[in-house]
Amino acid sequence: MTYEELMQKAIEVSEKAYCPYSKFPVGACVMTDDGAIYTGCNFENSSFGMTICAERNAIGSAIAEGKRKIKAVAIFSPVQDNCAPCGACRQVIHEFCDNDNDVDIILQNGNDLKIFTLAQLLPESFNL
């Protein structure tokens, strides 16, 4: 699947986001090392700390199917170009990859895609 196709899936799932408080819908599409695709959108709660980001929602779906290695994540919000993952999501992505340089984070800026490695977005990451 191309990165454009991953982004299209992120765009589509962003329309299903539940964000009555922030009005900030986000969609994510995760591709695992075997090419499987999982999507997720953010969903909020009036207890803001219980809000789940789109990226972690998609990764959770992959985990539920037994997947453990992420190769790429496309992230989209209709209200912000280059909608990058938050710090918590960056760390979760890191948890499910072999090498931060081998995971691409795909963002959309207008009609163009911007691609970063996880290593660029999460320098000096750590493992236990």
Residue 35 CA from chain centroid, whole number? 15
Catalytic choice (5, 15, 44, 55): 55
Q: So where are the chain's domains?
A: 3-121
pLDDT tens figures, 17-65: 999 999 999 999 999 999 999 999 999 999 988 999 999 999 999 999 9
Q: What is the pLDDT of residue 125?
A: 86
**pLDDT, position 126:** 81
- pLDDT attached to residue 32: 98
Two structure tokens written together for 55: 């990226």
pLDDT digits (tens, 9 = 90+) for 92-128: 999 999 999 999 999 999 999 999 999 999 998 887 7
Task: Give the 3-state secondary structure of residue 17.
Answer: coil
pTM score of the predicted model = 0.95
Longest dimension (CA), the chain: 39
Amino acid identity for residue 60 in this structure: G
- CATH 3.40.140.10 for domain 3-121, yes or no, is yes
> Which residue spans within 50-101 are E strands per DSSP?
70-76
Note if 55 is an active site residue: yes
Residue 49 phi/psi, 5° resolution? -65, -15
Q: How far apart are CA 54 and CA 77, in angstroms?
A: 10
Neighbour-count burial of 126, counting CB atoms closer than 10 A to its CB (0-12 exposed, 13-18 middle, 19+ buried): exposed
Q: What is the pLDDT of residue 128?
A: 75
69 or 127, higher pLDDT: 69
